Amino acid sequence: MFRILTSKAGVLEDALTLTTPAHNMWQSLLKSSDNMPISMLESSIFKDMFGTSAMREVFDDAATVRRYTETEIALAKVQGALGVIPASAAATIARLADSTKLDMVELKRETEIVGYPILPLVHQISKMCGPDGEYLHWGATTQDIMDTATILQVRDALALIETDLDELDAILDALALKYRDAPMAGRTHLQHALPITFGYKVAVWLLMVRRHRERLTQLKPRVLVGQFGGAAGTLASLGDQGLAVHAALMKELKLEASPVTWHVARDGLTEAVQFLALVTGSLGKIALDVMLMMTNELAEAFEPYVKGRGASSTMPQKRNPISCELMLSASKAVRQHAGLALDAMVQDFERATGPWHIEWAAIPESFILTAGALRQAKFMLAGLEVDTARMLKNLDLSGGLIVAEAVMMGLAPHIGRQTAHDVVYDACRLASTSGRKLAEVLYEDPQVASKLDRALIDR
């Protein structure tokens, strides 16, 4: 028996009449409650289903404060070289500023007071650097540091996405080549349309990936642009040295430079999120195709077999499309973030009152979800099990109706296209309702038989 008391804040506060091990467990739980993740992207259970460790490492707290610090160091270095601050102070800052030595508890506490993390970060780093730390953050504003750090993270994240897209391209290219001559039913509106090959279907997927790779190359110069404008974006505090510092800082960080600040012009970062929405949208389409092909009724293609993967807790026969489900889920989530990023573009005057904060969630979560979806796609497609015999069987499911267009076009030169359409339409209806093959019905139709011989109909 035990009794739990709850504090006004709604957290576990005490545990009574517990055995010692249980009591220790609850005390440990209480102490760690602030560190218990509630997001599937951070959950120790779900995080590697919906994301990847490599992408999380780009955006986690350690990486974020490291990029803040890197930007502050780069600013001091170029200002020292230009004589804006003493070169000795710049050297000290470059030598002593260390994000790994930050007191993260204190940083969190002060950030909650200030509302942004840069002033708290500057307080700590300036202390690390002693008197020379007074030259830290010279002429900069909070958003300069945070935006530039975000761009550095986005650069790393896009590199991971680019590698994944390259690998996915190779997988799909090989799959399209392997099954270029494997016939199957093409389907429109979920109905048999015309014969295609599975290689053709995969080639459609492949070309989406190729276009995304092209988009990624094109967007980099627009997105990977650093930020340095000072309080209102005019570099006023640096006088006639502002533009020189700006140019040198971007060169130091290997980022593009903008002739005018983009503090409230967020189209670059928004484009990055829209790109991720396009990528995951394509992955969602691929996932939906494979999910449908995995149905018992079609049974044409399956995710790789791994014992226990996709198993049901109660139905032993089940083989659920797990990777596809995760890809589809990611596509929907990133689509919502794309909408948020567009919303965040509408900002007031020279510094936004709120919309900027939307990006803090939309950008990292979109990248993590996209990386997770790409990982699932590579696993699923690299090991895709394709049943070409079942595809051929399904192709003949309608008894020849799937090639009705070919009959119509063969008949059209003799009786006109629209008349041929109506004649073949009626023949298809008769074949469907009588359960006979289309060829048999066509043999008996004088409008057809008088123009096409049996060998031509059969072909």
Long-range contacts of 335-340 (CB under 8 A, 24+ apart): 335/277, 335/280, 335/281, 337/273, 337/276, 337/277, 337/361, 337/362, 337/365, 337/366, 337/369, 338/273, 338/274, 338/276, 338/277, 338/366
The three-class DSSP label of residue 443 is helix
Of 344, 375, 346, nearest in space to 361 by CA: 344
> Is 357 a residue of the active site?
no
User: How many Cβ atoms are within 10 Å of 363's Cβ, its own excluded?
Assistant: 24
How far apart are alpha carbons 232 and 55 in whole angstroms? 33
Q: At 186, phi and psi to the nearest 5?
A: -80, 140
Element (H, E) at 210: helix 198-223
Q: Which of the following is catalytic: 7, 32, 44, 189?
A: 189
- In sequence order, which ranges of 294-403 are alpha helices (DSSP H)? 322-343, 355-382, 388-395
Q: Which of the following is catalytic: 28, 33, 312, 434?
A: 312
Sequence letter at residue 401: L
Give the strand pairing for 183-188 and 12-16: unpaired
DSSP code of residue 83: T
User: 3-state SS of 18-30?
Assistant: CCHHHHHHHHHHH
> Is 414 a residue of the active site?
no
DSSP code of residue 158: H
Burial of 403 (0-12, 13-18, 19+ CB in 10 A): middle
Count the alpha carbons within 13 Å of 197 in the hemisphere toward its beta carbon.
Answer: 11
End-to-end CA distance of the chain: 80
List for the chain the helix, strand, coil content (%; round to 5).
65, 5, 30
Q: At 232, phi and psi to the nearest 5?
A: -120, 15
Beta-sheet strands, E only, within 144-289? 183-188, 191-197
Element (H, E) at 351: none
User: How many Cβ atoms are within 10 Å of 214's Cβ, its own excluded?
Assistant: 10
Of 131, 128, 155, nearest in space to 69 by CA: 128
Q: Which residues are catalytic?
A: 189, 312
